[in-house]
Amino acid sequence: MPATARKTQPVRAEREKTVDEIYERIYAAILEHRLHPGTKLGEEKMADIFGVSRARIREVLARLAHEQIVELFPQRGAYVAKPTTEQARDVFEARRLIEPAVLRRLVDTLTTEKIQRLRQHIELEADARRRGDKRAVIRLSGEFHTLLAELAGNSALARSMRELCMLTCLTIFLYDAPTAQSCRDDEHQMIIDAVAKKDRGRAEKIMLEHLDHIEGSLQLDESNGEADLEAIFRG
């Protein structure tokens, strides 16, 4: 392999890794409700915080914008998405269509290892609740739904669920319905139990009721969009 090619590959891998790392840091901050809907993500400040170029930050923001997690406005910059009431309804409508399909595929491809993964996740949720770690509870509650999709083995479904769960998280934050209360752990356990018994009908029924409970808890509450980015990512 030419020396130039050998040098290019590690550089490209490192660049992609850095973009992925920054993306995941922002993703986690939103999922844990540390970044508010409407928060401005200034390129210069973000570049300084992460120690990268503004071009690198623009690449991350473009990826987040493609997933509708960030909104880009000409001459104004990038902001964490602030779903409207109509968009929130669209997200839950999409989840009601997708998540039953996820459960059906999961049941059809079920293994002992997959059930163990789900039960391990529930234990992490329970432990976070016992410790009173609200951020971990919020993050794990959202990740439960993406884990179901990942274990179902369909990459397109998993990607869609990841985006929908993030938009749900923003909606919950915006309308002031804490995930720790609205995404109830007992319902997660009931879903796993139904899947373990390969009872598709019951699993789907509980999931739809679960989504109804989350959506039903939403209450309109405006956010001012202000946040200390340095404290969030350097703290």
Give tens-digit pLDDT for 128-165. Answer: 999 988 888 888 888 999 999 999 999 999 999 999 99
CATH match for 3-81+222-234 among 3.50.50.60, 3.40.50.720, 3.40.50.300, 1.10.10.10: 1.10.10.10
For residue range 182-214, list pLDDT tens digits in order: 466 689 999 999 999 999 999 999 999 999 988
DSSP the chain: --HHHHHHHHHHHHHHHHHHHHHHHHHHHHHTT-S-TT-B--HHHHHHHHTS-HHHHHHHHHHHHHTTSEEEETTTEEEE----HHHHHHHHHHHHHHHHHHHHHHHHT--HHHHHHHHHHHHHHHHHHHHT-HHHHHHHHHHHHHHHHHHHT-HHHHHHHHHHHHHHHHHHHHTT--HHHHS-HHHHHHHHHHHHTT-HHHHHHHHHHHHHHHHHT-----------HHHHHH-
Q: The pTM is what?
A: 0.77
Per-domain residue ranges of the chain: 3-81+222-234, 85-216
Q: Which CATH architecture has domain 85-216?
A: Up-down Bundle (1.20)
Q: For residue 32, what pLDDT is reported?
A: 83
